[in-house]
Amino acid sequence: MDLIAKGLTYKPEDEFHLNDVSFGMKKGELYTILGRTLSGKTTLLKTIAGLITPEGGRMMFDEQDLGQVPVWERNIAMVYQQFINYPHLTVFDNVAFPLRQRKMDEGVIRGRVMDSLESVGLTGFESRKIQALSGGQQQRVALARSLAKQAGILLLDEPLVNLDYKLREQLREEFRNIFSDQVSSNSILIYSSTDPLEAMQLGGDIIVLDEGRVLQQGPAHEIFENPANTRVAEISNDPAMNLLPGAIDGSKIVIGDDINLVVPAHFKSLTPGAYTFGIRASDVSLDEKGLPFKVELAEISGSETFLHVQSGGHTIVGLLDMVQNFDAGDVVNLKLDAARLYAFGQDGALISSPFSGGF
């Protein structure tokens, strides 16, 4: 491990922003810090950068205690949510600024700047002023400035959050290619996001952070397939995974008075008793032979429909293909795909998943 954190704690005004945070990261890898707003993501990045001093714990980078390294000497670059550029400077001078602060040779600076601008697709924009660029182009300038530093650790704090949806989609795909080049140079890239889809698309390892605690760390597919507990299951899905208290009774899963499902094959080793069952919105579908639910709300999102329904006091969200028109109070029949069910214990820990069976 090239960046190791152990027991990082930060608790201003008796409220935990970081609570005993520990993790390990390797050079040449991409890591996404996934968590909801106020989960501690920005605090963690600022702690790595040296902008916040933790009250407990320590970090080691290349076997050096980062707590003993001043901010200006840390081999770290950071891109913020609110991207920062210098409006009076050209694109070239914006990217070159931190290198000139280091008094590097102008020939080296030119090479790094041009390489970085090429990486972010801004070749030919060197002489333009910042005000002449779109929001997406300005964000690329901020990213190019960080890439030009060739830092050992590159921190990106929700860099796409303030851009419109279409531009986020475009840049997200481009970032994957940029990051692929960057990690091959043995940098550690740490990207924070509230968006589970973004985290999964970027790949690499995901660290799920909630209320200042690390809940799970692992490859993106592992977080998706086997969330460690109900909280991770909610955070790593959009919409959040449906969680329904119920029980296994013989060959049936009983949820409230109205929902009965056949116990799937991957639950066969589970003993009868109470569980929390999880199912993703994408595993809920319209089916004439399905269970009846009353519609509470139908949300149109692009070419999909989020259908909020309830039965016996349990609310479920289904993700349906295409635009589907429903009115509040309508009764619809839905199939809950039992083969895609998760089982969590009374403590919230994962017990059985469609991908790994019982634990």
Contact 56, 12 (CB under 8 A): no
Among 213, 234, 255, which residue terminates a domain? 234
Q: CA 297 → CA 182, 235, 255, 275, distances in Å? A: 44, 22, 22, 27
64-80, pLDDT tens digit by residue? 999 999 988 888 988 88
Residues 53 and 159 in one domain: yes
pLDDT one-digit tens code per residue, 20-65: 999 999 988 899 999 999 999 999 999 999 999 999 999 999 889 9
* pLDDT band with cut points at 50, 70 and 90 for residue 111: very high
Write down the pTM of the prediction.
0.90
Question: What is the extent of the structural domain holding 278?
Answer: 242-358
Rounded distance between C-alpha atoms, residue 210 and residue 202, angstroms = 20
Give the per-residue pLDDT at 1.
59
Mean pLDDT, all residues of the chain: 91
CA distances from 39 to 17, 21, 213, 219, 264 (A): 7, 12, 8, 20, 35
- Residue 275 and residue 312 in contact, taking contact as beta carbons nearer than 8 Å: no
Of the ranges 116-120, 175-179, 248-252, 340-344, which is most confident? 340-344
Count CB-CB contacts under 10 A for residue 9: 15
Give the other-Cβ count within 10 Å of 68's Cβ. 8
Average pLDDT rounded to a whole number, residues 239-243: 95
Looking at residue 172, its pLDDT comes to 74
Total number of domains in the chain: 2
Instruction: Give yes or no: residues 262 and 219 share one domain.
Output: no
Note whether 207 and 268 are same-domain residues: no
Name the nearest CA neighbour of 31 among 209, 161, 162, 171.
209
Last residue of a domain, one of 171, 199, 234: 234
Read off the CATH number of the domain in which 224 is found.
3.40.50.300
pLDDT at position 161 over 80:
no
Name the domain boundary from 234, 252, 280. 234
